């Protein structure tokens, strides 16, 4: 276990991404440990999605280096080892849930019984034959998550997977993330809801394309003397301004 | 490119169409309705025999162009393309899967439209009827592949729909349908040779006048070359990494 704790899932060095005239990320450095649930927290527009896209290898980058599971991000051999859930549910609304998952399972070369496994994991078994377009927004995003779980990837990159879910479902999903972590999966989960910090093993706080903090929740609260992550975030930003 | 993944993508696109019977009806019935109108308008004249085969090739091209460009654009805007580009799916699998799926639809469409023209409208083809169906299928698949390539350039649904007049109408003007190509100004005649539709119309004109498949083999070869070229362009314009 000791050695595994030191393992690195993602290493980002000097990452620069520009979009139009804006520099979204400017020389970002960070490290994401393997086998942990790492929360990427920050307000909308902080550059979270851009960072996640760069890690998955679908973002055009203008400088720096992103290493994922020891390989350059986006390398062909990583495409089955990294699961990615986009912010908006990326599934075919005109197909049933099972048809969606079967297609993605074939693409990922996941075993055929994987469809039932991931449906169980996101608790959507009863909707297997429902057209995805007939599901609620929260259910669709869980189908999108299920598709990323196919083939049991070593690293899961989840962009705001709990948005719009009721508290019970949010708790269930965070429980699922914890179980996946216990099975050895590394997870990077973005959120703009600061109270989800308590479910993460480690936190990355982002603002305006820069890293504000990289710590555990306890370290963060101790360092800032704040009662919760929201206030810790405010304290760190104000400290930076001064 | 992996055959299993190309086939899986084609199956998925066909499954999507199966859930949308109205679109299938439009794809198959719309060309029939248009052809029926023309047959009715020119009833008792040789116009249908002369131009019918050309229209059999033309309507499917336009319909399939539209359907494909919108379908692939939807894939871009919904985020499913991003998911696929982060997966082991090859770009060739994506484009090939779409071409294959819509190729199947094109075969059905060409058979129904040709059958309707011959047996319902009374179109009389002097040349090989099988060759008419073949050219119609190839033209429909060409419409798909051009639509795939065009949707790569379009950023919005509005642009995707405008690609149809942009890419199809100039071809229509100079393909020999409005004026025989040997009577056109030389420059326009040259331009017409650069457009794939010209060869489809040329083949159909010859078939209507009594040619066999062998007589139009040159035209067919050029259409196939354009088709392959459009698949390659469609694949090249797909990007794993986007801004």
Q: DSSP 3-state assignment of A202?
A: strand
Q: Tens of pLDDT along A125-174? A: 999 999 999 999 889 999 999 999 999 999 999 999 988 788 888 999 99
Q: Tens of pLDDT along A45-66? A: 899 999 999 999 999 999 999 9
Residue B21 in contact with partner chain A when CB distance is under 8 A: no
Domains along chain A with CATH numbers: 36-60+75-241 (3.40.50.300)
Among the partner-chain residues B5, B12, B82, the one whose CB lies closest to the CB of A90 is B82
Q: DSSP 3-state assignment of A152?
A: coil
Look at B8 and A80 and tell me if their CB atoms are within 8 Å. no
Q: Nearest-CA distance from A11 to chain B in Å?
A: 18
State the pTM of this model.
0.89
Mean pLDDT in residue range B222-240: 89
Q: Nearest-CA distance from B238 to chain A in Å?
A: 12
Among the partner-chain residues B12, B19, B242, the one whose CB lies closest to the CB of A131 is B19
Q: How many contacts does A have with B, using Cβ atoms within 8 A?
A: 76
- C-beta neighbour count of B185 within 10 angstroms: 10
> How many angstroms separate the Cα of A62 from the Cα of each of A77, B80, B93?
22, 25, 28
**Chain A residue closest in CA terms to B74:** A92
- Write the ipTM: 0.89
* Whole-angstrom distance, CA of residue B216 vs CA of residue B200: 9
| Phi–psi pair at A133, nearest 5 degrees | -65, -20
Burial A212-240 (b: 16+ CB within 10 A, else e): bbbbebeebbeebebeebeebbebbeeee
- Indicate the helix (H) or strand (E) that contains B23: helix B21-41
- Could you tell me which of A200, A97, A104, A193 has the C-alpha nearest to residue A153? A104
Look at A80 and B19 and tell me if their CB atoms are within 8 Å. no
Kindly report the average pLDDT of chain B as a whole number: 89
**Contact residues on chain A for B241, CB-CB shorter than 8 A:** 57-61, 74
Q: Tens of pLDDT along A193-242? A: 888 888 999 999 999 999 999 999 999 999 999 999 989 988 988 887 55
**Chain B residue closest in CA terms to A21:** B243
| Phi–psi pair at A39, nearest 5 degrees | -95, 130
Q: Tens of pLDDT along B119-158? A: 999 888 888 889 999 999 999 889 988 888 888 778 777 8
* Whole-angstrom distance, CA of residue B71 vs CA of residue B13: 9
Is residue A2 scored above 60 in pLDDT? no
Half-sphere exposure at residue A197, Cβ-oriented, CA atoms within 13 angstroms: 26
Half-sphere exposure at residue A9, Cβ-oriented, CA atoms within 13 angstroms: 24
Q: DSSP 3-state assignment of B144?
A: helix
pLDDT at A134 (0 to 100): 96
**DSSP state letters, B207-239:** HHTT--GGGGHHHHHHHHHHHHHHHHHHHHH--
């Amino acid at each position: 276990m000791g050695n595994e704790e030191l393992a690195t899932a993602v290493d980002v060095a000097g990452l620069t991404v520009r979009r139009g005239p804006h520099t979204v990320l400017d020389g970002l450095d960070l490290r994401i440990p393997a086998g942990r649930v790492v929360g990427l927290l920050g307000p909308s527009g902080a550059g979270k999605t851009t960072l996640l896209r760069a890690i998955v290898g679908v973002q055009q980058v203008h400088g720096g280096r992103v290493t994922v599971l020891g390989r350059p991000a986006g390398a062909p051999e990583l495409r089955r080892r990294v699961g990615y859930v986009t912010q908006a549910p990326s599934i075919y609304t005109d197909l049933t849930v099972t048809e969606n998952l079967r297609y993605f399972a074939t693409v990922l070369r996941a075993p055929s019984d994987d469809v039932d496994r991931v449906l169980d994991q996101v608790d959507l078994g009863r909707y297997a034959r429902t057209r995805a377009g007939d599901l609620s927004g929260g259910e669709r995003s869980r189908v999108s998550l299920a598709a990323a779980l196919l083939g049991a990837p070593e690293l899961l990159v989840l962009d705001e997977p709990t948005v719009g879910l009721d508290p019970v479902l949010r708790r269930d999903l965070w429980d699922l993330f914890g179980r996946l972590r216990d099975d050895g999966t590394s997870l990077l989960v973005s959120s703009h809801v600061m109270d989800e910090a308590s479910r993460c093993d480690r936190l990355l706080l982002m603002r305006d394309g820069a890293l504000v903090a990289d710590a555990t929740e306890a370290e963060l609260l101790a360092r800032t003397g704040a009662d919760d992550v929201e206030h810790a975030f405010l304290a760190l930003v104000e400290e930076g301004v001064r | 490119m992996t055959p299993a993944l190309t086939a899986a993508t084609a199956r998925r696109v066909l499954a999507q169409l199966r859930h949308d019977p109205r679109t299938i009806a439009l794809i198959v019935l719309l060309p029939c309705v248009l052809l029926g109108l023309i047959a009715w308008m020119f009833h008792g004249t040789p116009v249908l025999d002369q131009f019918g085969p050309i229209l059999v090739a033309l309507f499917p091209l336009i319909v399939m162009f539209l359907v494909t460009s919108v379908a692939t654009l939807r894939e871009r805007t919904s985020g499913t393309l991003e998911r696929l580009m982060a997966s082991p799916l090859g770009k060739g699998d994506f484009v090939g899967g779409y071409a294959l799926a819509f190729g199947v639809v094109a075969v059905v469409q060409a058979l129904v439209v040709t059958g309707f023209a011959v047996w319902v409208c009374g179109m009389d083809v002097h040349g090989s009827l099988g060759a008419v169906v073949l050219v119609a299928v190839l033209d429909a698949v060409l419409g798909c592949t051009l639509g795939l390539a065009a949707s790569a350039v379009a950023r919005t649904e509005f642009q995707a729909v405008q690609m149809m007049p942009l890419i199809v109408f100039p071809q229509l003007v100079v393909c020999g349908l409005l004026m025989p190509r040997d009577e056109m100004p030389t420059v326009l005649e040259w331009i017409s040779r650069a457009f794939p539709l010209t060869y489809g119309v040329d083949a159909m004109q010859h078939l209507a006048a009594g040619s066999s498949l062998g007589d139009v083999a040159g035209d067919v070869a050029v259409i196939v070359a354009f088709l392959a070229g459009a698949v390659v362009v469609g694949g090249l314009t797909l990007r794993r990494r986007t801004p």
